[in-house]
A = this chain, B = another copy of it.
Amino acid sequence: MESRLIRYLRGRLGPHPLVRLGAGDDAAVLSMAGTSECAITVDMLTDQVDFRLSETEPRRIGRKALAVNLSDLAAMAAEPLAGVVALALPRSRGMELAIGLYEGLLPLAERYQLAIAGGDTNSWDGPLVLSVTLVGRVGARGPLVRSGARPGDRILVTGQFGGSILGRHFDFEPRVAEALLLHERYELHAGIDVSDGLSIDLAHMVEESGCGAVVRTDAVPISEAAHALAARTPGGPTPLDHALSDGEDFELVLAVPPAEAERILADQPLEVPIVEIGEFVRQPGIWQANGRGEKSPLAPRGYEHEFD
């Protein structure tokens, strides 16, 4: 029952300095002291698209629902403040499921000192749907937007790409700390997180920035999982194909002016490697350059929700 879940949440959620009023009223009340601009983002996850409830622990699903939103805040270089969670639960074993989801979500929230301020819990005859909305604080340097890339900027990326479907799309660590550190210490022109796919998200970035990008394909960090996936279907997509188009890597793609890029590459200030995979150019579109310097168009591929 709804009220039982509210009791569980009230017991489970500790006090948080930002939350003046938590779950159980018509809305939560947050202190906005010291926040002149905030980032707000929402991501909805549905059964069979973002996870399969029949195959996956509710904790991993709940964790993912929060992590994808934290990754969006990271992409804006916004510090996570608070979130609300809306659930549409299948009627059978809904309470157990809800608690499982929250038990996956809450440890990640605690790790980022994110206040879970409230939510809305529904039951229905359909499959599981989760929607998480987060509010983050934009710092003095302003948000890290998609639209700031300029010709000559280097393309820097964190981590590795491809094959996240083998498990990492549940267990990835959102690059919140990394984005905040980089945005504070270095001059970044633009940023995005890879949710749909490296090539398609890079395409979003150049479209918003009014420029193009050349990717040196031999520099793209390819994950073990991308190799494993490619090995399953000989003659199918290569490990590089997976890295460029699988999506849900939730790594950062950054546009960084050349001298600053050199500093970051030399400093390696993150726990995760950060590497250069190409540069932004005047000519619109996404291009690939191989090890011999030959250029060709790179068709952006990845996930886009299709509806007529």
Contact = CB atoms under 8 A, between A and B. Distances in A.
Interface of A: 1-3, 20-21, 24-33, 35-44, 46-49, 72-73, 75-76, 78, 82, 84-96, 98, 117-127, 129, 131, 133-136, 138, 143, 145-147, 192-193, 208, 304-308
A17 to B, nearest CB: 13
Given A129-B88, A307-B89, A308-B91, A40 B48 contact: no
Contacts of A76: 25-27, 29
A21 B145 contact: yes
B133 A84 contact: yes
A45 B192 CA distance: 30
A132 to B, nearest CB: 9
Contacts of A124: 46-49
Nearest to A47: B126
A84 B305 contact: no
Given A33-B36, A44-B131, A88-B129, A146 B26 contact: yes
Contacts of A122: 44, 46, 49, 305
